[in-house]
Chain A
Amino acid sequence: MITITVNGAPHEVDVEEGMPLLWVLRDVLNMTGTKYGCGVAACGACTVMVDGAPVRSCSFPAALAVGKAITTIEGLKSGETLHKVQQAWIAEQAPQCGYCQSGQIMAAVALLNEKPQPTDAEIDAAMTNICRCGSYAQIRAAIHAAAKA
């Protein structure tokens, strides 16, 4: 049994030591906003924040998150108000199929926490998540818009 704290709420889960956080979120807690894309930390679809830092949860054992604050896409809103990054994503109409966007948004939130006014080069360096629909122009615009908001 381990206890992990997701979006402020503690959850006691009976899982193996090595079970990745992604699958604990998706299949044990049924929080499916965080996505499976590759399982090898290559695509970023599974990005969540652990103590504010972006983590690819498919390759991050849940046990390592004990005692830390996990934030997922479901936890970005405050009350009914969307996070400014989510609002910018809507304003720029960023998602296409949308599958990668939870991870993209989490990576962008983590970037803006670190660098509130990122340059294009900083966006290039931080945003390494794959979007197969090719929504990169809209994602870049949304990050700049959120930085100004």
Chain B
Amino acid sequence: MGKITRRLMMFGGVAAVGGGLAVGYALLPYTTIDRARKLAGKSGETMLSAWVRIGTDNSVTVIVPHSEMGQGVHTSLPMMLAEELDADWSLVRMEQAPADMAFANLGLARGYLRGDKSIPSWMSGAADFGFRKVAESMNLQITGGSTSVRFTGVDGFRRTGAAARSMLIAAAAAKWSVPAGEIEAKLSKLTHASGKSATYGEMAEAAAAIAPPADAPLKAKKDYTIVGTPKARFDIPAKVDGSAKYGLDLRLANMSYAVVTASPVFGGTLKSVDEAPAKAMRGVKQVVKLPDAVAVVADNTWRAKEAALALKPEWNEGAHASVSSKSIYAAMDAALDAGKFEADHSVGDVDTALKAATKVVEGAYRVPYLAHATMETMNCTAQFENGKLTVWGGFQDGLGARAAAAKFAGIPIDDVTLHHTAMGGGFGRRGSTLNYLKHAIGVARAVQGPVQVVFTREEDMTQDNYRHASVSRMKASLDDKGKVNAWLHQFSEKFDPPEATMVNYDFAHQASRYVTGLNPIPWGPWRSVDHTQMGFFIETFMDELAVSAGQDPFEFRRAHLNGAPRHKAALELAASMANWSTKPAEGRARGIAMREAFGTIVAQVAEVSLGEDGRVRVHNIWSAVDPGEVINPATFTAQIQGGAVYGLTAALYGEITIDKGRVVQQNFPDYDMVRMADAPLHEVRFIESGARTGGAGEPGTAPVAAAVGNAVFALTGKRIRELPFKNFDLKTGTKIASL
């Protein structure tokens, strides 16, 4: 059986189902491994590990503990395992792991353990359940923080593939009485110069008798045949013919549909509601009152929606009824004035250096709340039967959601079954704030049979957990050579990841400090998390410093990257891709920005012009990306491009405002999005520096607002210090919105 090496463990033996071999790589105790075998081992197949099975038909099924949101992880993780296994890619399939402890996200946990970082707060889905300590070692199944490939893939999938390959070779060596070193494993086949050969499927049973190696050698990058080549994603065919089943597409026998209306003021509760207008409507089955919401249950979604609109619930609005964006910004400014800061990063002695400086530059910035606005609105289907709960839906952390469901329902986690559906976007929304799950459980308690609880777009937009608004104040000193000596960043609210507030430039003195506790509405992770604000604040101010120093914005940044060769190389590549040294066409200008986010460096140049209406048009983006290594280049390119569109939507249009404790925006007409006509041409090039593998889903979002704003400044000489740009006549720099 298994060997224990430090915290990790290779395990192997006879699979509980189908006989043959089980081998894997884990941090888990044996009891959990047995459970994983039982769940993943299917009859007629040999289970090769908790993360891979080899079938008698020689198929390779990789079991992925992360959720697919379109970022391609259901393909890139199997690519990493298949590479080390030397599998024939055409035989590889994937399955999403059940939401069970046995498939907890070990690699991710280990990544954090090894990185000496605490578990980030966006993993609170699991932490909320009250076993944070357990979560800190293993109870994670989160898809977020661009972690899947970085941790699960690098730590788990590669080693599992290599161990399995080594066991197959050892089995063949024993059977054929030849040295293992003479056996070649290639394309799911073992061969020896004597002419002997076997498929992996044929050798899997024999391999079950082999002790799993704890540290099978990994392949050299130069020998890769799968990783680094574009592979078609497994999830795409079902997404072009309408057959992919998202949460909203679930259709069960005797299922009802419910539309929920929650207190429009955050923290409010239901005071009363006259159910009669809804009950009189066709198809309405019942009205369910929840502590903070009311739901109409009907025989289809539209009837439930229409009947929900007919209700006029009264709310106890609670403590936040007078909160507005204005009051929130004012509180943030007041806190920054008061100067009661939490310490963040610090290098050198900023305060002394700033006092001694002769030239000091200052900047003040702010960004608003943002909704996630996934295309599929929040929803969840739930059913109670004999005290046990079954839920169906899209979750970024299946295990955390299952734990949360148990907590909401007040039953043990073993009495909760969670079924994953395809997810129509996540971006952080389907991670830790599970109000849709909570409502579904509340409604299901009152309903016979399964009930699909649906957020209308209006409910989705007004009951989100928002990217938090933030106010930023910058101060820096320039020496007589035009170099930054000291850099001080003071801002409101710090979240995750911890390094997002750091600056990669080599300033002798730098510090960041923040005030906290000033967001009275629900807030949480949003694609690239703190990098969304920090990218805009830091890289806009960097541009202002370049202007003050009388230097070109690219050269100015470059001159501050002598201690950061990867960043410098990315910046130089982006400038070269954009022909930075040449003058753009008449009426156009370029801006540059750079962020390192989730282990990936993205340097971006944006080229813009202004329309007659004073609105910015982004024509081109060039991104130079150093993620260390690229697993699936097609997917990675699409993630950088899509991430930039997400960030561009925020820069151009994104604004959730609060009035009387309520979200003002209701739907896409007042929360607009970048569409085809707004989407820039975006060239992406990679630098595979060999550094530890970085994330793909989020880094493209971080620098884009600053790159565009810096380009607008280059064009107009007007510096826009708050988002979104739609609130300004960019020709004059005048604010045209009231807030």
Contacts and interface: CB of A to CB of B under 8 A. Distances in A.
Interface of A: 16, 19-20, 22-23, 26-28, 30-40, 42-43, 45, 72-74, 76-77, 82, 86, 89-90, 93-102, 105, 123-125, 127-140
16 contacts: A27-B301, A32-B249, A35-B248, A37-B457, A38-B667, A38-B668, A74-B242, A82-B241, A93-B638, A95-B70, A99-B376, A105-B240, A131-B375, A132-B373, A134-B645, A134-B679
Interface in B258-291: 282
A37 B643 contact: no
B643 A134 contact: yes
B668 A43 contact: yes
A34 B301 CA distance: 14
A40 B597 CA distance: 36
Given A33-B241, A97-B424, 13 more contacts: A27-B301, A32-B245, A32-B248, A40-B457, A93-B634, A94-B236, A98-B70, A98-B235, A98-B239, A98-B422, A99-B375, A99-B376, A124-B677
A96 to B, nearest CB: 3
B198 interface: no
B663 to A, nearest CB: 16
A133 B241 contact: no
A42 B302 contact: no
Contacts of B634: 93
Contacts of B248: 32, 35-36
A132 B646 contact: yes
Contacts of B96: none
Contacts of B667: 38-40, 42
B729 to A, nearest CB: 24
**Chain A CB within 10 A, most for which of B236, B241, B641:** B241
A102 B638 contact: no
Contacts of A82: 240-241
A82 B376 CA distance: 25
Contacts of B296: none
B257 interface: yes
Nearest to B298: A27
B69 interface: yes
A36 B377 contact: yes
A130 B236 contact: no
A22 B669 CA distance: 19
A27 B300 CA distance: 6
A16 B240 CA distance: 31
B633 to A, nearest CB: 11
Contacts of A102: 242
A23 B241 contact: no
Interface string B449-470: 0000000110000000000000
Given A27-B300, A73-B241, A138 B638 contact: yes
**Chain A CB within 10 A, most for which of B230, B248, B679:** B679
**Chain B CB within 10 A, most for which of A32, A74, A140:** A32
A139 to B, nearest CB: 7
B676 interface: yes
A77 B242 CA distance: 11
A89 to B, nearest CB: 5
B660 interface: no
B668 A130 contact: yes
Contact of A93 (B71, B233, B257, B456): B233
B412 to A, nearest CB: 33
B242 A32 contact: yes
A19 B306 CA distance: 10
Contacts of A99: 246, 374-376, 424-425
B668 A23 contact: no
Contacts of B242: 31-34, 72-74, 102
Contacts of A42: 667-669
A23 B644 CA distance: 33
Given A42-B669, A99-B424, A133-B642, A125 B677 contact: yes
B244 interface: yes
B641 A137 contact: yes
B374 to A, nearest CB: 6
B673 interface: yes
Contact of A35 (B282, B375, B669): B375
A65 to B, nearest CB: 15
A30 B246 CA distance: 13
Contacts of A125: 677
B302 A90 contact: no
A31 B426 CA distance: 24
Contact of B302 (A19, A31, A97, A124): A19
B424 A98 contact: yes
Given A99-B425, A135-B638, A38 B236 contact: no
Contacts of A34: 242
Nearest to B681: A137
A32 B246 CA distance: 9
A40 B675 CA distance: 17
B237 interface: yes
A13 B621 CA distance: 50
Contacts of A38: 457, 667-668
Nearest to B670: A42
A129 B675 contact: yes
Given A43-B375, A74-B241, A20 B646 contact: no
**Chain A CB within 10 A, most for which of B72, B641, B643:** B641
Nearest to B646: A134
B251 interface: yes
**Chain A CB within 10 A, most for which of B245, B305, B375:** B375
A134 B640 CA distance: 10
Contacts of A100: 375, 424
Contacts of B244: 98
Given A27-B257, A33-B242, A134-B641, A96 B70 contact: yes
A130 to B, nearest CB: 5
A91 B642 CA distance: 18
B301 A36 contact: yes
Contact of A128 (B235, B377, B422, B676): B676
A124 B374 CA distance: 22
B590 interface: no
Given A20-B302, A40-B668, A135 B243 contact: no
Given A42-B667, A98-B236, A130-B375, A33 B243 contact: yes
